[in-house]
Structure 1
């Protein structure tokens, strides 16, 4: 964090006292910063390397009482311990620790200025991304094993909150769209190839967002943003959804000569099937079969009647073919019902999983 501001320091120098009446009513002096003694107040946790010149070259104001007033422009560059777990709704606290570099507390006794925390926000320029929530000053005395005298430092704790309306539109809204796209795939017809296309597009979108996060956020151990974890978990769920889609397409498109196991068939035609909304599909299937069989029977009868000179009769081989075709069609319908049931079960399961993810990663 880089802080630009004015540093206000005041101290008393016994060597700079004078009597105003003896000097023509002189009530103040303006002296260059290199002409008088100044405290060597340094930023302890500076991130600017070997450069420790924090203050600009500005004059000091000296009063007859020996009080020296110095307000130089200052620039502080410090390391901040970032916690990006709640990004982009995070709040960060950075510390500025100031103290004398060569003088102990018996020689230079640092005190907080007025107001009590020594930090004024009158000339604060608003930032487009960060908002200052709180600033607190704290004076501390440190004792080291090498020395008996105290060493005094003053620490300013600056609490910042990220302003995130833009991030909400860029990150949060697409997350809701990804959830809806993933759930919508389960409501497409079980034999629709568009299910794979929809899941593939969703996976690509999530990968693009993860690449955006890798460029936007620093890699920090133990502080992975929750929104990144949500996108990562969503990618796992989409890949599993893609696997389920392949299974469903297999069940609905392939022609099976074997029936659905009786346990699954009883569940599909019983109350579990009604709970999944399969009852109206089950009711429509026999009527369609009957119509198809009757139409096929009428066609075969008319053909046989015309060839036999008007005597209408259906041979045993024809009945066998019709029965076998009807049986295969019934098996295939049951497999399609199983595919629809898998889709709807996965829809309910994914709704529950996304609710759990949103609850866990929004804390």
Structure 2
């Protein structure tokens, strides 16, 4: 009989059994989370202030009591290190970014909290400005959020100093490569808020700090300038979208590129000029000119590896090597022509003989600096007793004199051309 009553009661009241189980389980969970004796929640002034400030606080909305008010955020960059990749045209700045603003919900009376006038809070617990980089490098993910420890004073002034690396795009100017100076700008502002909601501006004193900056191996920082752009556009006459512009002026450390490109370019010019000074019939002259031409191709390849592949400007050193290669090729062709002239057996035309005599008897003889072939001079001495041989030697001498005249004129022209090219195209520090 009793068994039947128990069975009937269990069947009639299944909810009672479930409720008892839930209560029993909850009691065990609560007891498991209890702290041991002496480990109660601290209730000193700092903990009480922390609890009171964040009570019912929302970090998702601007910290103003009136939605029409503007949150003014002061920004200061303390630059530590920078990296400029000229090949990819990307510019990265590592800095401590100090930001300060007024949070109207984070103020208190110090007398009510043990005279505490400053408190530290984590940035993810309070509202923080989202300062975006507008010309950011799209290949690198960069969040406009930051995570750090911020300080708050009793008036509600919040100050955060996160360490942030900003990577942006910087179009290079390669005209003076490798002695080039680059101007790279970074543009910061609020991505969604208008200037009437979140107003970014600079600290009144020292908006940029470079006392702890360290130059990299390839670039040195000359100066940094800051400018606030009002952000007034024709599309939105009643709204503003201000931006903070930082311009970094960088100078390339050109000792390495100059040793690889600039100095060898001057050397191949000297090789070309020296080869022209040699005798017209000297085969070493032709070998040196061919070596100089090969050197031009080599340096063009080296410059192609060093200059940025997306650069819009052409380095003037590249134009110098190009024009110098054309001059060297012209010298090779003229050398081959002069070598063929010296081997002619036909008598020289009258105008060539007259030109040779005019230069030999006038001041023009000082322009012709190359000597006659010694073998031809010895032939001339041996031919004094032989009339036919004397006539043949005389014809050969006329052609050689004319070849030397043309060679001297070519040297003067090449020298002037290289002088102009060096003055225009060779960069200098």
**TM-score normalised per structure 1:** 0.85
Kept after mapping to 2: 8 A contact 1:133/1:161: yes
Unaligned runs of 5+ in 1: 298-321
C-alpha distance in 2, partners of 1:259/1:237? 31
Distance 1:94 1:280, change over 3 A: closer
Residue by residue over 1:104-146, the C-alpha shift from the partner in whole angstroms, topping out at 9 and shown as x without a partner, is 1111121111435x11101101212211112111112113314
Kept after mapping to 1: 8 A contact 2:175/2:313: yes
Q: Residue 141 of structure 1 is aligned with which of 230, 253, 263?
A: 230
Kept after mapping to 1: 8 A contact 2:130/2:144: no
Does residue 1:250 correspond to 2:340, yes or no?
A: yes
Distance 1:220 1:262, change over 3 A: farther
The residue that corresponds to 1:323 in the other structure is: 387
Distance 1:128 1:168, change over 3 A: same
The Cα of 1:356 is off from its aligned counterpart by 0.8
Larger radius of gyration: 2
The Cα of 1:76 is off from its aligned counterpart by 0.8
C-alpha distance in 2, partners of 1:343/1:214? 34
The Cα of 1:219 is off from its aligned counterpart by 3.9
C-alpha distance in 1, partners of 2:125/2:98? 18
The residue that corresponds to 1:332 in the other structure is: 396
The residue that corresponds to 1:214 in the other structure is: 304
The Cα of 1:56 is off from its aligned counterpart by 4.9
C-alpha distance in 1, partners of 2:140/2:220? 30
Q: Displaced runs of 4+ in structure 1, greater than 6 A?
A: 284-287
User: Aligned runs of 1:237-276 on 2, under 5 Å?
Assistant: 237-252=327-342, 254-256=343-345, 258-270=346-358, 271=362, 273-276=364-367
Distance 1:285 1:272, change over 3 A: farther
C-alpha distance in 2, partners of 1:45/1:287? 75
The residue that corresponds to 2:415 in the other structure is: 351
Distance 1:91 1:195, change over 3 A: same
**TM-score normalised per structure 2:** 0.73
The residue that corresponds to 2:195 in the other structure is: 105
State the secondary structure of the residue aligned to 2:124: coil
The Cα of 1:277 is off from its aligned counterpart by 3.2
Residue by residue over 1:145-185, the C-alpha shift from the partner in whole angstroms, topping out at 9 and shown as x without a partner, is 14622111110111111122233322222122111100111
- What is the aligned residue count? 333
Distance 1:280 1:200, change over 3 A: closer
